[in-house]
Structure 1
Amino acid sequence: MTFFIRAMVFLLSSISLSCFAASSILVWPIYQVIESDENSSALWLENKGDAPVGLQIRIMSWKQIDFQDRYADQSNVIATPPFMTLEPGKRNMIRLIRVNPPPANTE
């Protein structure tokens, strides 16, 4: 019986935690590109929910190895501002800035 009670408490606590973590953030454009002749690009975030959302913006490198996604820290692109609170119904622009110039003759 105690196993059942512990399992139910764990299940209910995990459900309530996921509800607190849920938010309605719209991000566009999805496919972000910094053109070779530009140093930055605009990324828009919009809060479609009814509560303020605190955000931390982190830019990660991505590649696939053996059909598995691999994410890692990187230092080539930064986001500004890196932290924000987005109020309900509001949108804000994040600037993605290239730190180093692109290598010559590369795509």
Structure 2
Amino acid sequence: MPLDPAFAALADPTRRAILARLAQGEATVQELARPFPISQPAVSRHLKVLEDAGLIETRVDGTARPRRLKADAVEALWEWLGQYRALWEARYVRLDDVLADMDADTTDATATRPVSKT
């Protein structure tokens, strides 16, 4: 799955909110449009971007066209992000170690400082 179109689609907060809603289950355009202060055609354009990016799909159910997440597309995003998550977690562990060493050095220096009698 090409990641660039997916991340470009996710750059918009309305589209991220639509994906969050679709994570709860499929929904029609009318259901997806309800919480937004934009027109139904505007929501349809957002859905088109998400579909072109491969993040959602449309199911035909008579005259209804409910949308749903494409699990494999979302999984591909998680896999890609997961490799960077592990990298950043390792960096945060190293940062915690450095800060703990700095704190220990500061505590040691304070404990060995002679008390002046003035």
TM-score normalized by structure 2? 0.22
Q: Which has the higher contact order (CA 8 A, sep 6+)?
A: 1
Q: Which has the larger share of helix?
A: 2
Q: Which has the larger share of strand?
A: 1
TM-score normalized by structure 1? 0.23
